[in-house]
Amino acid sequence: MAGDHGLKYAMVGGGIDAFIGEVHRKAIALDNSATLVAGALSSTPERSMESAKQLGLPEDRSYGTWQELVEKESERDDGVDFVVIVTPNNTHHPIAKACLEAGLNVVLDKPMTMTSDEARELAHLANDNDLVCGVTYTYTGYPMIREAAELVRNGTLGNIRRVELRYLQGWLANDIESEGQKQASWRMDPKQAGAGGTLGDIGTHAEHLASFVTGLEIESLSAELTSFVDGRVLDDDTSVRVRYEGGAKGTYLATQVLIGEENTITLSVYGDKGSLWWSNGDANDLKVATLERDTYYLTRGQDSLSERAKAATRTPPGHPEGYLEAFANIYRGVAELINAKKLGTPVGPLGHDVPGPEAGLCGMRFVERVVSSSNQDGAWV
């Protein structure tokens, strides 16, 4: 078990009132993948110290700023093994760059950076310095998504013809950023979020999920970005048509203005021998149909599943796993990668499935191409 090797991590962001940092902490704790020992948790030194106090971090490792954290942790003999970066998008690149330059492994949340140039720089830094740079594309952590990827890889679906991906939310149906809703405010501010609103926030999840399952490379795309809510500069609705290398076609819809949609993700992949369907609402099931076998269901925990899916599961069939476990699978993989470098232990399927810097870079290229196409009224780019 990863935790047996006593990995230690620091967090930047994830302080009082933050959303995703707490989810990361719970996911890491679920499998004892690492222990939180240091943090620069908020945007001001005062709040950072208060946040660290609430989490019970030791005083000498509660930092007011991320700069201080990077400097001090990289100097310590017992410094952290990795730094989790869960701040608004515009800060990912400077923080990750400083960490990687100081020899610290990083885990960044998506979107990786503000631009593809920044992402490319981080990828080079990580690769040149043999450091881990994971990107938490949460939804690839589900075991049945890993099984889906395996079914495509082993030819069960034949040649892929079509990929349909919908990621639907409704929490930005109103102008809540004007009312000071914190998560909405920075997500709809181009200076903090980047060139994409919904596109960067959940469109990047859609792009990565489709790529992870199918392995297809996007050749060109035609996109339409819409801001349904008056006064919004960034998109709150993204629709993209995709042509993949090899001839397959795809459609991605990512939107945050559909009232009543909480967090619905559906993926369908259609090949010339078979098809598969998955949704995060029934995350433990995968529906499959083939020309030979009609329609059948695979469920998480079955003996017949691939090693890749089995490695990402904990409880027996019928005892559902969900979002936190999917997140935790990415961190078990991160721990495998770091332990391999630190102790020479083998990297298993979980480690191999950690989205790396190249996946983060693909996400940023996707954002840039979608914006470019939409600015040209949906031209293929």
Site residues, ligand NAD (CB under 6 A): 12-15, 18-21, 40-43, 66, 86-89, 91, 109-110, 136, 138, 182-183, 186, 201
Residue whose beta carbon is closest to ligand NAD: 13
Whether 215 and 378 have beta carbons less than 8 Å apart is answered as: no
State the nearest-atom distance from the C-beta of 23 to ligand NAD, in Å: 7
Whether 10 and 37 have beta carbons less than 8 Å apart is answered as: yes
State the nearest-atom distance from the C-beta of 62 to ligand NAD, in Å: 12
DSSP per-residue string spanning 330-371: HHHHHHHHHHHHHH-PPP-HHHHTS--HHHHHHHHHHHHHHH
The residue count of the chain comes to 381
* Nearer of residues 15 and 333 to ligand NAD, judged by Cβ: 15
Contacting residues for 299 by C-beta, under 8 A, at least 6 apart:
144, 284, 285, 286, 317
* Nearer of residues 204 and 339 to ligand NAD, judged by Cβ: 204
Q: Which of left, alpha, beta for 56 (phi over 0: left; psi -120 to 50: alpha)?
A: left
Rounded-to-integer distance, Cα 251 and Cα 134, Å:
27
* Nearer of residues 132 and 193 to ligand NAD, judged by Cβ: 193
Whether 200 and 367 have beta carbons less than 8 Å apart is answered as: yes
State the nearest-atom distance from the C-beta of 299 to ligand NAD, in Å: 24
Rounded-to-integer distance, Cα 218 and Cα 272, Å:
19
State the nearest-atom distance from the C-beta of 381 to ligand NAD, in Å: 24
* Nearer of residues 25 and 232 to ligand NAD, judged by Cβ: 25
Instruction: Look up residue 207 and give its two tokens.
Output: 């792009």
DSSP class of residue 376 equals: T
Q: In terms of Cα–Cα distance, which of 20, 379, 355, 363 is closest to 196?
A: 363
Q: In terms of Cα–Cα distance, which of 125, 174, 7, 30 is closest to 361?
A: 125
* Nearer of residues 146 and 288 to ligand NAD, judged by Cβ: 146
* Nearer of residues 150 and 189 to ligand NAD, judged by Cβ: 189
* Nearer of residues 248 and 330 to ligand NAD, judged by Cβ: 330
DSSP class of residue 282 equals: G
* Nearer of residues 87 and 211 to ligand NAD, judged by Cβ: 87
Place of tokens 């890491």: 28
* Nearer of residues 14 and 274 to ligand NAD, judged by Cβ: 14
State the nearest-atom distance from the C-beta of 222 to ligand NAD, in Å: 25
State the nearest-atom distance from the C-beta of 326 to ligand NAD, in Å: 10
State the nearest-atom distance from the C-beta of 189 to ligand NAD, in Å: 11
State the nearest-atom distance from the C-beta of 51 to ligand NAD, in Å: 7
HSE (side-chain half, CA atoms, 13 Å) at 165? 26
DSSP per-residue string spanning 123-170: HHHHHHTT--EEEE-GGGGSHHHHHHHHHHHTTTT-SEEEEEEEEE--
State the nearest-atom distance from the C-beta of 112 to ligand NAD, in Å: 9
